[in-house]
Structure 1
């Protein structure tokens, strides 16, 4: 294979674990409506949010892990490993899908609140379970807050060809991905959803962020390091982040929005998440460059106890993400049916993150136990 890409150094990159753990916590908090605690998440301070970070890191990790396999063992082995990972994510999605619907159905009956079924888009399943389940298995039907994993699955299934091309023509692959992104936005391409509408995360647009993560891992960051460390980027990047902060806050506070020209406010509000608005992409790129500039791979702080829970959640990302989706429904129902006070909002947020962290530590311990070599049985002295 004529490889032009530059693979990252071997070994675990704790920056990815730290940021992925943060993304999982933020997604959980953002999935709880009317929760004051989610004001600490990224979405309130700029155009991009934790979903952008999750997709980017997924693309980065897929390239980081499977590019080396593809180079050392060939395209077929690397491709089958990617498809195997997509299958694992699909199985997790189906399991979560079934539990999620059962959870919402039970809570709706327990609290005599049928609006929950409509709020989480599972009412159709209650009326036509066979067809809705079939569409769910095809990833066409997705309850509320279950849109990220189908996107991840779809991108992983086509990524073997993309990754093989990236290893040969890194910048060209990113350019083609960007052209597909522009074409999808211009022509309105998307994937139909069931029973109506289209995917909330348009895969033709969001694929660019996934591929950008791969480009970043395979040499794009190192190629751009001079610009990333330049004073020009520091000034321009900081100015854009400040602009994004002001425009995002304008969407949160009507008084600030009314003080702006209508044409300026309307250009950025509401934030186009489905088709990944260009200003959203630019915001995330600037953040990624700033992280590269100021968060080194070999930082001693990754070993600090304060960061260990979030790093552990990043290392067990799939399990933590799925549990967060489940727990967010419970938290929302508690706030609606029991108490919506500020203290309750803080309580359900903290308890949810603690439970996700406990699960992450358990899964980490369980995997170590499974990989540990079996001890030789002690010799048994037979009685004479």
Structure 2
């Protein structure tokens, strides 16, 4: 009997490459009024780098922990998952402290009191003890610190779904879609602090991206039968992406906005990010389908040296995400200091990405014991 896809030992370089690309995009997009963000996917459709990151996280989680499940059993695998959850939680708390300190220091040093309100940290000054407690419970956080809590919650529930997704991936997809539909219909969500807010990325909705990614790690070869419909599906995907690009660009150009029919606007708005609107989800799936066809797993270009910095950042995703989030606020202040000049936007974007790449290479050097880190099988890299 052929081994199930989850046991495959070959490393899919696309995962590291596109996860690294998503991390670069997240950093660039977190710098307001950044002209370089026109090079990311955000301005050309409904989805953005967040969907890429969450999907790949689900995919790699199954590859890594699915092998552990079959080799070591559920109990030890669950323990390994929760060790990773703890690492993510500690990273989030440290990032929260560093990011908050950076906001407060900049607010005082540069006489920018509005920055604290802009970054949604007013609750810390109004009721610091309650705010610290709520931060420990992942319910209070400044702007741009929403992705890690989402991932923590998704991964915390993962051990209970892993045995099912390995054996019944279609059942997991069905259950995930049902929960997503119910969440959107009944407006379920996790409470945030203060003012009875909800999580910016609602895990009850975003789990659909994570678990579709997880299921695809098992179903990869089995869904190859869709290739017989390659051309009609590709045409539909391209048409949908063109429609999404037209709508997204209309948010920036009035002459395009005037050409959006009123009945279309009534049907598609609001395009909700908190509960990942269905248009965002479909847009990501269309992009993923076309990327799968355009860049197969054995494409020689994936090993080009020019893409190595992307792969390195993808391999060290937790570290690079934290660095990028911290740097984004510094970049915002620098751009503001230079009156949002285009040159300052380009410089901070390049400098931030360069720092992230440098950190990724240093981390790989340390992991390799002071030498270039060898290529590891995917199973040895659980949800980096």
Q: What is the TM-score when the length of structure 2 is the normalising length?
A: 0.93
When the two chains are superposed, the root-mean-square deviation of aligned CA atoms in Å is 1.7
What do the CA deviations read for 1:325-358 (whole angstroms, capped 9, x no partner)?
Answer: 0000001011123431000110111111111110
Query: Partners in 2 of 1:245 and 1:213 — Cα distance?
Result: 24
How far apart are 1:251 and its partner, in Å? 2.0
- Cα contact 1:4–1:168 (8 A) shared by 2: no
Say yes or no: does 1:359 pair with 2:334.
Answer: no
Say yes or no: does 1:342 pair with 2:342.
Answer: yes
What do the CA deviations read for 1:13-68 (whole angstroms, capped 9, x no partner)?
Answer: 21001100000000001101111111111111111100010100110111110011
Unaligned runs of 5+ in 2: 373-384
How far apart are 1:184 and its partner, in Å? 0.3
List aligned pairs for 1:291-306, cutoff 5 A: 291-306=291-306
- Most deviating of 242-251 and 97-106: 242-251
Name the count of aligned residue pairs: 369
Residue 46 of structure 2 aligns with which residue? Answer: 47
Residue 109 of structure 2 aligns with which residue? Answer: 110
Residue 59 of structure 2 aligns with which residue? Answer: 60
- Most deviating of 323-332 and 122-131: 122-131
Larger radius of gyration: 1
How far apart are 1:128 and its partner, in Å? 2.4
The 1:4–1:182 alpha-carbon spacing in structure 2 relative to 1, beyond 3 Å, is: farther
- Cα contact 1:257–1:265 (8 A) shared by 2: no
3-state SS of 1:271 partner: coil
The 1:124–1:338 alpha-carbon spacing in structure 2 relative to 1, beyond 3 Å, is: farther
Residue 375 of structure 1 aligns with which residue? Answer: none
3-state SS of 1:12 partner: coil
Query: Partners in 2 of 1:317 and 1:325 — Cα distance?
Result: 12
Query: Partners in 1 of 2:227 and 2:41 — Cα distance?
Result: 21
- Cα contact 1:7–1:64 (8 A) shared by 2: yes
How far apart are 1:167 and its partner, in Å? 1.6
Query: Partners in 2 of 1:333 and 1:133 — Cα distance?
Result: 25
- Cα contact 2:7–2:66 (8 A) shared by 1: no
- Cα contact 2:237–2:286 (8 A) shared by 1: yes
- Cα contact 1:205–1:276 (8 A) shared by 2: yes
Query: Partners in 1 of 2:31 and 2:339 — Cα distance?
Result: 14
Residue 210 of structure 1 aligns with which residue? Answer: 210
Greater RCO, 1 or 2 (C-alpha within 8 Å, sep 6+): 2
Unaligned runs of 5+ in 1: 373-384
The 1:270–1:354 alpha-carbon spacing in structure 2 relative to 1, beyond 3 Å, is: farther
The 1:266–1:324 alpha-carbon spacing in structure 2 relative to 1, beyond 3 Å, is: farther
Residue 89 of structure 1 aligns with which residue? Answer: 88
List aligned pairs for 1:223-372, cutoff 5 A: 223-228=222-227, 230-369=230-369
Query: Partners in 2 of 1:50 and 1:9 — Cα distance?
Result: 27
Query: Partners in 2 of 1:7 and 1:291 — Cα distance?
Result: 21
Residue 151 of structure 2 aligns with which residue? Answer: 152
- Cα contact 1:5–1:169 (8 A) shared by 2: no
3-state SS of 2:251 partner: helix
The 1:302–1:70 alpha-carbon spacing in structure 2 relative to 1, beyond 3 Å, is: same
List aligned pairs for 1:175-194, cutoff 5 A: 175-194=174-193
Q: What is the TM-score when the length of structure 1 is the normalising length?
A: 0.93
What do the CA deviations read for 1:199-240 (whole angstroms, capped 9, x no partner)?
Answer: 000111000000001011111x32222324521112111111
Query: Partners in 1 of 2:295 and 2:94 — Cα distance?
Result: 36
Say yes or no: does 1:73 pair with 2:59.
Answer: no
How far apart are 1:365 and its partner, in Å? 0.4
Query: Partners in 1 of 2:370 and 2:55 — Cα distance?
Result: 30
Query: Partners in 1 of 2:192 and 2:331 — Cα distance?
Result: 27
- Cα contact 1:5–1:218 (8 A) shared by 2: yes
- Most deviating of 149-158 and 6-15: 6-15
What do the CA deviations read for 1:90-121 (whole angstroms, capped 9, x no partner)?
Answer: 11000000000000000001110100101111
How far apart are 1:187 and its partner, in Å? 0.3
